[in-house]
């Protein structure tokens, strides 16, 4: 990698995941609301108390500089619990919903990389970036495996791999690619993946891991191999090529040659 990128990566200190911060702030809001109730009698009815707790939690979230959507989540969290309790929904329903969401989103609360899918226009654009001869390709966080299935069908001379940490998307993508001999999907973390094995490394993640991922790519990838990020930039690290994709999300492919 060229020396101008030597300054590309400087990892910042590890932060508490926003979901944990949000939960702690809910706890603090509950205590403050309880104090107000004791001192001034504010919020004596359950829904009133929950609304007051939500308002305090939402304000604390802004002060703590959580992303704007946390304001609304925090505001509605306690009132939603009170309203749900009124409907006497069986606890098994919540357990089932929790298990399904856990299987889909797994460690998103920590990684801050949720499941959303790249468009078929991105897949088509990627076709043009693949090497001419036999090669190895990895999709880091392969989601439902649509991208891998598409490319592995079109380029039978390539070896395609996916690594996915969430169990349900991983199982679905294994099923949909089971018929493809040149495609395999591993259940695990992208951070345990040796990027030195691949000619093309693709990632469609979120802004959060990009700095760390570029550091890993620089350490492990072979000279001449391609690192491609869909949409998410690496701070202070200009790509060699940017390709605007005319899809719904207005994706951009950012390409670095190592």
Ligand X SMILES: C[S@@+](CC[C@H](N)C(=O)[O-])C[C@H]1O[C@@H](n2cnc3c(N)ncnc32)[C@H](O)[C@@H]1O
Q: Decide if residue 197 touches ligand X (CB under 6 A).
A: no
List CB contacts of 82: < 8 A, sequence separation 6 or more.
Answer: 46, 47, 50
Q: Decide if residue 205 touches ligand X (CB under 6 A).
A: yes
Q: Please pick, from the candidates 125, 164, 199, 211, the single residue that binds ligand X as defined by CB under 6 A.
A: 164
Tell the smallest beta-carbon distance from residue 156 to ligand X (Å).
Answer: 21
The helix/strand/coil state of 116 is: coil
Contact 194, 219 (CB under 8 A): no
Q: Decide if residue 194 touches ligand X (CB under 6 A).
A: no
Q: Which window, 7-15, 48-56, 84-92, 109-117, contacts ligand X (CB under 6 A)? A: 109-117
Q: Decide if residue 190 touches ligand X (CB under 6 A).
A: yes
Tell the smallest beta-carbon distance from residue 148 to ligand X (Å).
Answer: 8
Q: Decide if residue 125 touches ligand X (CB under 6 A).
A: no
Q: Decide if residue 9 touches ligand X (CB under 6 A).
A: no
- Partnered with residue 216 across adjacent β-strands are none
Q: Decide if residue 231 touches ligand X (CB under 6 A).
A: no
Q: Which window, 6-14, 36-44, 62-70, 139-147, contacts ligand X (CB under 6 A)? A: 139-147
What are the angstrom distances between the C-alpha of 58 and each of 48, 115, 196? 15, 26, 45
Contact 37, 44 (CB under 8 A): yes
Q: Which residues of 204-221 are buried (b: 16+ CB within 10 A; e: fewer)?
A: bbbeebbbebbbbbbebb
Tell the smallest beta-carbon distance from residue 161 to ligand X (Å).
Answer: 12
Q: Decide if residue 198 touches ligand X (CB under 6 A).
A: no
Q: Decide if residue 142 touches ligand X (CB under 6 A).
A: yes
- Strand order of the β-sheet with 226-230 is 183-187, 158-164, 135-140, 200-203, 226-230, 252-257, 241-244
Site residues, ligand X (CB under 6 A): 106, 111, 113, 115-118, 139, 141-143, 146-147, 163-166, 169, 189-191, 204-205
């Amino acid at each position: 990698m060229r020396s101008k990128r030597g300054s590309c990566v400087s990892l910042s200190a590890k932060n508490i995941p926003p979901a944990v911060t949000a939960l702690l702030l809910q706890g603090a809001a509950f205590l403050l609301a309880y104090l107000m109730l004791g001192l001034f009698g504010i919020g004596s009815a359950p829904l009133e108390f929950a609304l007051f707790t939500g308002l305090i939690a939402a304000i604390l979230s802004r002060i703590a500089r959580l992303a704007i959507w946390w304001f609304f989540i925090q505001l509605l969290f306690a009132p939603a619990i009170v309203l749900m309790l009124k409907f006497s929904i069986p606890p098994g329903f919540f357990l089932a919903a929790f298990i399904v969401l856990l299987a889909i989103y797994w460690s998103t609360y920590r990684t801050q990389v949720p499941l959303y899918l790249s468009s078929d226009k991105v897949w088509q654009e990627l076709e043009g970036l693949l090497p001419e001869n036999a090669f190895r390709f990895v999709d880091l966080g392969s989601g439902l495996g649509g991208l891998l299935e598409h490319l592995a069908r079109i380029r039978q001379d390539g070896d395609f791999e996916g690594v996915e940490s969430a169990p349900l998307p991983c199982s679905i993508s294994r099923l949909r690619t089971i018929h493809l001999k040149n495609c395999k999907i591993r259940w695990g973390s992208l951070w345990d993946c040796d990027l030195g094995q691949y000619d093309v490394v693709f990632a469609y993640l979120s802004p959060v891991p990009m700095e760390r991922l570029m550091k890993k790519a620089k350490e492990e990838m072979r000279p001449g191999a391609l690192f491609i990020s869909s949409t998410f930039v690496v701070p202070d690290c200009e790509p060699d090529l940017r390709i605007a994709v005319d899809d719904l999300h207005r994706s951009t492919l950012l390409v670095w040659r190592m």
